[in-house]
Amino acid sequence: MTTAHLDGVCAIENECFAHPWSRGSLENALSDPNAVFCVAIENGGVIGYIGMLFVLDEGYICNVAVSQSFRKRGVGSALIQTLVTHCKKNDFAFLTLEVRESNAAARSLYEDFGFVKVGERKNYYTDPTENAVLMTLYF
């Protein structure tokens, strides 16, 4: 992700999340040495992105989002594969994330990559209030 992608990423954040990251937060990620953000581009526009923060060999996915009009076309899978490849190449121990309990499509996608449920966070999400499922991929 570069500064040129921020408008597109912000638009997807606002489309996909009840509490989107601010432009400033996304901008800060660009200079964070412990952040990796990748974008999917089609016809010059951002159609999806994935972001990860890491500490030593531990990766924490903060967001995966694909614009509504580009879902079910493999964009999310490509983004996750990019991050998994990065983690393997850099000898990470694991990659983990939280996902809404009701988000069966996302949970299934993560399971396809080998993520397993490792716990829950009660009432983690708001608008609406919902539990988060913790999922981890061990390398």
How many Cα atoms are found within 13 Å in the side-chain-facing hemisphere of 18? 7
Supply the DSSP symbol for 67. Answer: -
DSSP symbols for 3-32 = GGGHHHHHHHHHHH-SSPPPHHHHHHHHT-
Q: What is the number of other CB atoms lying within 10 angstroms of the CB of residue 130?
A: 16
DSSP symbols for 75-89 = HHHHHHHHHHHHHHH
- Residue 70 to residue 64: CA distance in whole angstroms: 13
Closest CA to 97 of 29, 109, 40: 109
Q: Which residues are catalytic?
A: 98, 110
- Residue 21 to residue 71: CA distance in whole angstroms: 20
